Chains A and B, each alone.
Chain A
């Protein structure tokens, strides 16, 4: 049974929206969503989490219609790592991660020894155990991002949604995060849906991906079917070359600057 199933979803937002997006993510799959800024990537994550309601189409998690589920029921199977979360109150890292256990707590809302064990496990995995007792108001953006990953893992979700989890991370943490998530997907059947900006990172770790452009699915499928020079050029409007990663054999995207010499300050994708 599909962990996540979107059928002909449309969503109207003031300026942009989504039209007729369908996708299916299986348990254990690492699925990424790529596309230019404003193409609707985050919107899809919020629809899957039930924070936004679609205007048309149907959405189900493990065969259950999302609109029939309460927030708590959703939070027991879906965890969400936000793009950025400013911390206003000086809760410690451990306290914030323990909040991930909230959907599973009893009436009085106290965590059990098992909840604390799960939080410790999540902090190890997200590499924040060393800063467990620091207030979240006093750590770096990258550390805070990993705290939110740990909080999401502490929810013990079956579906993990990540919105640009790499934005504030250095390359070592980018890679170790992706490897941890892949391992969780393989070992525990976790379905991972991530919005990723770095096409090469997405290529190295994804099973399948969705390429979005202006609220429409341009392509969906295996990485090598989606990351083609023609499709990338069509959506991002930058010329690229695609060859094979020397060891992983996944597609490798290289930017080709259109004006031979003007190298400085360009590069990267633009929105």
Chain B
């Protein structure tokens, strides 16, 4: 397979990130233009430019503008944030557990976060509590994700040692349990059955600029905090004792990383529900393309993850258009065979 291997420099990171950001942007534009009502590419770009406050004449109709700016843009931006967040969280869990199969969905953490979000949605009345709702839901999801992280971490070890098989199975079971709880709560909230399904398989259709703002700012802050640990993850990958010799406070690094990655997962899924396998597929492809160095793996997974989920959501909208699939269905169709392939390859 193609691999660009030489010591990673800032210029490498910038050029790879830049290229992948362009891919993500192109995916975004495609996703804005395509749908049950197609909008011409020129009109789409024109509306985007105008959306930035730059006067720009053209042929776009007012209804095009509503479709792009009100309906599709928040959804595309949210897909980018969720994809990037789940991918970065996946990289961190894989580095911590030294296991390429660890990711937020398999570990049950996405389900914990979603449960937190659903509980908060049920508890906070819809009317008159806009800000409370906007911030309270992600906060509850954050707590839910941390609780699952702790549970999986404690149950996944035996005599103080993390066992990879045990950890993954524990995650899957905790996830199944939390999914059942989500089901119960959504049903008790007297929502229709369809919305239960959307929470369990991922749902980006309720995106608003408000949720994009909250998720996006947390995403950028947490991703930066994770990125500055990248060279320590490299060392940790060569062994815990080696990391101590090279000056890494391994216990502190692990605590910070679990906290950041679980928190990021929780906040991301609070707006989207459980979307599986993104954190598995994206880092795996990036590792194959760019090597195991986390200084490149983290930013490349961030941008590639954004592009990946934008395109997955586009597929989810297009396949049975005008009907929509939950985006998690698409990621599961891609991710589950991937999981099996990696498992088989590892022997």
Contacts and interface: CB of A to CB of B under 8 A. Distances in A.
Interface of A: 49, 51, 70-76, 79-80, 82, 85-92, 94-96, 98-100, 102-103, 105, 107-111, 116, 133, 151, 155
Interface in B213-234: 227-232, 234
Interface residues of B, number: 28
A189 to B, nearest CB: 21
B163 interface: no
Contact of B292 (A72, A91, A105): A91
A51 B244 contact: yes
Given A95-B7, A95-B293, A110-B9, A88 B245 contact: no
A110 B245 contact: no
A10 to B, nearest CB: 22
A144 B242 CA distance: 14
A71 B249 CA distance: 6
B241 A51 contact: yes
Contact of B247 (A88, A103, A108): A103
Contacts of A91: 234, 237-238, 292-293
Contacts of A74: 247
Contacts of B10: 108, 110
23 contacts: A51-B245, A71-B244, A72-B247, A74-B247, A75-B246, A76-B247, A80-B245, A82-B245, A85-B242, A86-B239, A87-B238, A89-B238, A91-B238, A95-B7, A98-B7, A99-B234, A99-B235, A102-B231, A102-B235, A103-B246, A108-B10, A109-B228, A109-B229
Interface string B241-285: 110111111000000000000000000000000000000000000
A85 B238 contact: yes
A112 B229 CA distance: 17
Given A98-B7, A116-B7, A133-B5, A75 B247 contact: yes
B295 interface: yes
B245 A79 contact: yes
B246 A102 contact: yes
B98 interface: yes
Contacts of A88: 98, 237-239
Contacts of B229: 109
Contacts of A90: 292
B246 A100 contact: yes
A108 B7 contact: no
Contacts of A110: 8-10, 231, 295
